[in-house]
A and B are shown apart, each in its own frame.
Chain A
Amino acid sequence: QLQLQESGPGLVKPSETLSLTCTVSGGSISSSSYYWGWIRQPPGKGLEWIGSIYYSGSTYYNPSLKSRVTISVDTSKNQFSLKLSSVTAADTAVYYCARLFMLSFSPAFDIWGQGTMVTVSS
């Protein structure tokens, strides 16, 4: 059974770079049928798509975050990663990684990690 697990610092200082890794177990990140994505949820608020990546390295980012976001994949480690630069308190959120597939060109995130809380504070 495929599982995803986020890892990374729970506390990041303002203006620094948030870095998270998602480890995929029980299956290959190199499957041609899936993309991989990052989603975040500020406390008490809704879900926000951050971006997605294909195993080949093709990336797609939320336009509102594009200037600060980098998503990368390491197929040898079965991992993909998120870097968000110049963070502020507004970036405080639970960050989820998830598997994404397309059906009739329509998206669905079918497997999610448990989420990791990241707080931006000095």
Chain B
Amino acid sequence: SSELTQDPAVSVALGQTVRITCQGDSLRSYYASWYQQKPGQAPVLVIYGKNNRPSGIPDRFSGSSSGNTASLTITGAQAEDEADYYCNSRDSSGNHRCLVFGGGTKLTVL
């Protein structure tokens, strides 16, 4: 099945900008959605579609896409942004009705 590949870990200094990426063939055709997960909590949708934020998500979170890579950018990272981040999109191996998650990126805010 199709895979979405994420870097296992990324760090950012407090107040700086960080980009978390997600690579996969399906991203040439579909957008990725992005989820933030803090320890012991359910994931929370932070970005979907081309670059849409659900209500309540700070505007420091943004999304973009180019070729087979989707990116989640946090501009001015805050301590509360330290979490695991997952991308999600459609499978591209043949059954477009199947979905897949990336392996996740652990973000550390220094």
How many chain B residues sit at the interface, stated as a range, is 20 to 34
Q: How far apart are B41's CB and chain A's nearest CB, in angstroms?
A: 8
**Residue contact A109 to B49, C-beta cutoff 8 Å:** no
Q: How far apart are B37's CB and chain A's nearest CB, in angstroms?
A: 8
Q: How far apart are A10's CB and chain B's nearest CB, in angstroms?
A: 16
**8 Å CB contact of B52 from A60, A62, A63, A103:** A103
**Residue contact B32 to A112, C-beta cutoff 8 Å:** no
Q: Given A46-B104, A47-B43, A103-B48: A108 and B88 within 8 A (CB)?
A: yes
**Residue contact A49 to B89, C-beta cutoff 8 Å:** no
A48 to B49, CA, bound (A): 20
**Residue contact A46 to B103, C-beta cutoff 8 Å:** yes
Contact string, A61-76, partner B, CB cutoff 8 A, digits 1/0? 1111000000000000
**Residue contact A63 to B100, C-beta cutoff 8 Å:** no
**Residue contact A109 to B90, C-beta cutoff 8 Å:** no
**Residue contact B90 to A60, C-beta cutoff 8 Å:** no
**Residue contact B42 to A112, C-beta cutoff 8 Å:** yes
A21 to B102, CA, bound (A): 26
Q: Given A47-B86, A63-B98: A109 and B33 within 8 A (CB)?
A: yes
**Is residue A26 contacting chain B, with contact meaning CB distance below 8 A?**
no
**8 Å CB contact of A48 from B33, B50, B101:** B101
**Is residue A114 contacting chain B, with contact meaning CB distance below 8 A?**
yes
**Residue contact B95 to A108, C-beta cutoff 8 Å:** no
**8 Å CB contact of B49 from A47, A49, A104, A115:** A104
- What are some 10 contacts across the A-B interface (CB < 8 A)? A62-B1, A63-B95, A104-B30, A104-B31, A105-B30, A106-B30, A106-B32, A108-B45, A109-B88, A112-B43
Q: Which residues of chain B have a CB within 8 Å of any CB of chain A?
A: 1, 30-33, 35, 37, 42-45, 48-50, 52, 54, 86, 88-90, 95, 97-104
A39-B101, A46-B102, A112-B44 given; 11 more Cβ-contact pairs under 8 Å: A37-B99, A48-B101, A49-B98, A62-B1, A103-B48, A105-B30, A106-B33, A106-B89, A106-B90, A109-B35, A113-B42
